[in-house]
Amino acid sequence: MTTSFPPGFRWGVATSAFQIEGATTADGRGPSIWDTFAGVPGAVAGGDTGEPAADHYHRWRDDLALLRELGVDSYRFSVSWPRVQPDGRRFERRGLGFYRRLAEALREQGIEPFLTLYHWDLPQALEDSGGWRSRDTAHRFAEYASLVHEELGDVVDHWTTLNEPYPCAVAGYGEGRHAPGAREGHGALAAAHHLLLGHGLAVQAMRGQATPQHQFGIVLNQSPVVPVSDSAADAAAAARQDTLLRRQFTDPLFGGRYAPGLAAMFSGVSDFSFRLDGDLETIGAPLDYLGVNYYYRLHVADAPHREPDPAQRTVADIGVDTSRLPDVPRTGMGWPVEPEGLTEALVGLHNRYPGLPPMYVTENGCVYADRSDFADYERITFLNEHIEAARAAAAAGVDLRGYFCWSLLDNFEWAHGYKHRFGLVHVDYATQARTPRASFRWYRDFVAAQRG
């Protein structure tokens, strides 16, 4: 295999707070929208909740030992906002203390902490006053970011504002598949805008108090969108999907404009009155990196809107059908395995936005059914092929700085609950025993080989 990555290329793994920590009431933590949502009958498969997850809040030292054994040089994790501000405002020092201990210990082991401020767990109190539909939430987020940055700026250099604003806005406020479970049009578009604004305000606040080594970025999920035929209708459907999923975010962040076509797509749904003068400048302030999460490509056909009256339409109702998958192998999530989509995502961004900051692959991974001996050869093949696809993007001129595998541990996979397992390490949720899979040893050896 040809695997020459640039010098200093980072190899890591990623997790997120709500998905692994458990301990949802420890040390003054307040409820998040995911605690509330998981309590709604039928919202999460199996009635699963944020308890016990991988009980990482109590077992983080064991998990740090796993990171050491894995030999990664970087670890991407997220801070739980409702641990640090249980009601979205009041500072809870005990909650923050957890992340200080973690970041310090990572550093002592020579592992670089990549901290994400928001991986979907909004304090419920802020949802009660409008959530991301409300402009005030963007300001609350900037305040929270500035607080965490001030407290941990001495031990963390890599600061990611948001993880994947697309599902937050569309699955959360449009489709109702994710917390807070809303099905809206205007509200979901407002949520997307306020997430971006919150990002921009947070970067502004943190830059104002940063030291020179601090780096600021955002993480976006990037599924290249492919029309299922060469018909004009399918091409137009693919363009709508791309606008909703990607350009709604990347154009304001890196192109200095709102995505052309977005307002026309939602005419009658929203008047976009949430866009205020100056917002674009705040959102588009320069970043030090862009994190790309890649799992699959989206294959799109034209289809009728489900709701004929635009005023009643949700943001997810854009007249597309995404169920026509290509004839390729699928993962246990049912996602098509298409490693070339990762090359395409990275090269596509690079070509579309001159002046794009350096990129990292901040998530990539898969689910397959376990064998009794945890010999997950499919996962090894998947990772191997995707790392190769990342290498191809770097070879094509993309400034790619690192790759993070999702995930270190099995965890709470949002609306799917605990059924789907993304970990390099198997977690027995009853005993909390950790068992490294074969892919863990493969990644360990692979990373060691890269160092030569």
User: Which residues in this chain contact ligand FCB in the complex, by CB under 6 A?
Assistant: 16, 19, 163-164, 221, 293, 363, 406, 413-414, 422
- Single out the catalytic residue among 164, 184, 338, 413: 164
Nearer to ligand FCB, 111 or 405 (CB): 405
Are 137 and 126 in contact by the 8 Å Cβ rule? The answer is yes
Residue 40 Cβ vs ligand FCB, minimum distance, rounded to whole Å:
19
Query: Nearer to ligand FCB by C-beta: 77 or 422?
Result: 422
CB 396, CB 389: distance < 8 Å: no
Q: Minimum distance from CB of 422 to ligand FCB (Å)?
A: 6
Q: What are the Cα distances from residue 22, in Å, to 42, 124, 411, 419?
A: 20, 17, 10, 16
Active site residue 108: no
Structure tokens, 161: 């504002």
Q: Is the Cβ of residue 16 or residue 137 nearer to ligand FCB in the bound state?
A: 16
- Smallest separation, CB 118 to ligand FCB (Å): 11
CB 400 within 8 A of CB 386: no
363 is catalytic: yes
Nearer CB in complex with ligand FCB: 19/282: 19
Q: Which is nearer to ligand FCB, 48 or 413 (CB)?
A: 413
Between 19 and 270, CB nearer to ligand FCB:
19
Compute the least distance from the CB of residue 437 to ligand FCB, in Å.
16
The single residue of 21, 112, 338, 363 carrying the catalytic annotation is: 363
Least distance from ligand FCB to the Cβ atom of residue 395, Å: 26
CB of 381 to ligand FCB, least distance (A): 18
Q: Burial level of 287, CB count in 10 A (0-12/13-18/19+)?
A: buried
Active-site residues, by number, are 164, 363
